[in-house]
Amino acid sequence: LLWFYQSGRVTHSTGSLCKRKDGFVIRFTVLGSSSSANAVLVESADACILVDNGFTFKKLTETLTGINRSVEEIEAVLVTHEHSDHVNGVGILARKMKVPVFMTRGCALAAYPRTGEIPDLRHFESGDTLSFGSLSAISFSVTHDAADPVNYVFTSGNARLGLATDFGHCSQLARARLRDVHALIVESNYCPDMLRTGKYPPQLQQRIRSRMGHLSNLDMQALLRELCGGSLKLVVLSHISRDNNTPEIARSFAEEAVRGYDVAVHVAPPDRATPTFEVYP
C-alpha cells in the first residue's frame, strides 16, 4: 500500500524501505503522542532508532508489532528531555535489549530517578551530530522546563526530517535548523482560548504559555508559514492537549498555514501509532 502526495516525494507506506537514485529515504512513525507516553521510530536504509520512550516494555512491543517492527530492531534510543512521558520506558528498554541511550549530561542526571541505571549511556552536547549508518541526528537546544532539552533534525542522503516538540519558544536557532526539512513532526499543544477558559489553575496556565512551556496552535502556524515555500511536504501535528485543544482545531490552523502549498497535514493520535511515512529528498 502506498499513498503518494502530489509531489511524489512523501509517501505513507507499509512496504519495505528502499534506496532511490536521488538519495536514501527516511521512514518514521509516531508511536504515541500525549502527556502519557511519547515515542517516535526513525529509520533509514541501514539504521533504526527510537526517539524517547514513555511506554512500558509491553506496550512498546505491542505497538511496534502493530507496524510490523520489533524491539530487536532498535539500535539506539535518543532522548529529548527527562519528563516522564518521554523517558519512563527508556531504562527498562536499555537494560532488556542492551541498546545504547544518548542524552545530554543535564538530561541524564535529571532523568535518573525515572530511568534507573542505563548500562550503555552515552552523553553528547546540544549541537552535536550523532551518526547511525546512513542516518544522522543533528541535535539543537530548545527552551523547555527541563534540564538541557534538545530536539533533532534527521538526515539520510539529502532527505531531512525535523522534530519540533516540547518547547515554548521557537528560537532563531530552531527555525534555522528546521528551515530545509522535507517532513516535520511539530507540537501543536494548546488553543490559547481553551487554555484561558479551561480548568487549569493560573500557575499551570502560565507554565504552559511561557517560553519554557509548549507551542500553541498559533505558534505552530507561524512556524509553518515560515517554512512553507521551501522543501516542506509533510506536517505531522503532535502532543495535542486533551484538555486545552482538539485535533480539529489544531488541523485547521495548520491547513490555513499551508494553504496554496503542496504540503500534507496529518494529526498524530494520542493513543496509537500514526501511519508510517517515507520522506524523500
Per residue, what are the HEC states of 107-150? Answer: HHHHHHHHHCCCCCEEEECCCCEEEECCEEEEEEECCCCCCCCE
The predicted model gives 23-48 an average pLDDT of 92
**All residues at 6 or more sequence positions from 107 whose CB lies less than 8 Å from its CB, including other chains:** 79, 80, 81, 82, 146, 147, 148, 149, 150
pLDDT of residue 281: 81
For residue 87, give every residue at least 6 positions away whose Cβ sits within 8 Å of its Cβ, in sequence order, or none.
52, 53, 54, 79, 111, 114, 115
- Global pTM reads 0.92
pLDDT tens, position by position, 49-81: 999 999 999 999 999 999 999 999 999 999 999
What pLDDT, in 10s, does the model give residues 85-134? 999 999 999 999 999 999 999 999 999 999 999 999 999 999 999 999 99
Q: Is the confidence at residue 1, as pLDDT, over 60?
A: no
CB 45 within 8 A of CB 92: no
Per the prediction, the chain carries an average pLDDT of 91
